[in-house]
Structure 1
């Protein structure tokens, strides 16, 4: 099973491809904040799984470029990944709320603290 961080990067990459199929691997890597090599590795894996299809096209500067299109199985996988992503983020959110509450109690802040305070809202 892949790590949540890897899963998050794959999910975010698939979302980017859905919105920007004509982006280069460098554009994708920059947007995700990962290396070009990692982007290439993930894209190759998605192509091998049949979740992404690569189409050639000519860019305006007359160089050959690629379009990365989610296949029907890629769209289905992205939907599953969305559910997993949301579960992880909700869990992180709840853990963060608990930690904030514990810190507020530690320094004596409560729910009744005024506006502009760090108090729980």
Structure 2
């Protein structure tokens, strides 16, 4: 269970870093909506990323509300995002291989069932 939780937390960090790199002015509320987690959860992760020196806060100068921030990835944050990207991609490729094998197995079951049904129809003269 702890391993699964760790993977989920890593995925959230990866997705936040990715979204921040694409749009530094994104709000915590928008991040929460895009990730399907609470605003408090996003705030917690952002605070951790800032504390670890992966993200720095800058004022979003074009905003009327000067409390808005731009979240800028630091060189350390860019390196962490690259590491998380590799890890995320490997995990997804592994999941894909397992899913592909399961799909092939299910297809074989369907094909076998179709063959058995055809044999039964042929023997009964239909």
1:89 aligns to 2:92 (yes or no): yes
More helix by share: 2
- Is 2:101 aligned against 1:98? yes
Deviation at 1:56, TM superposition (A): 1.8
Considering only aligned residues, what root-mean-square deviation do their CA atoms show, in Å? 1.6
Of 32, 37, 43, the match for 2:35: 32
Structure 1 unpaired stretches of 5+: 110-121
Q: CA deviation at 1:57?
A: 2.9
What is the CA–CA distance in structure 2 between the aligned matches of 1:88 and 1:29, rounded to whole Å? 23
Question: In 2, are the aligned partners of 1:58 and 1:64 still within 8 Å (CA)?
Answer: no
User: What count of residue pairs does the alignment treat as equivalent?
Assistant: 109
Counterpart selection for 2:44 from 38, 41, 44 = 41
Q: Which residue of 2 aligns with 1:73?
A: 76
Which of these two proteins has the greater Rg computed from alpha carbons?
2
Q: Assess if the C-alpha contact under 8 Å between 1:17 and 1:68 holds in 2.
A: yes
SS at match of 1:64: coil
Unaligned runs of 5+ in 2: 113-126
Normalising by structure 1, report the TM-score: 0.83
TM-score, normalization by structure 2: 0.80
User: SS in structure 1 opposite 2:59?
Assistant: strand
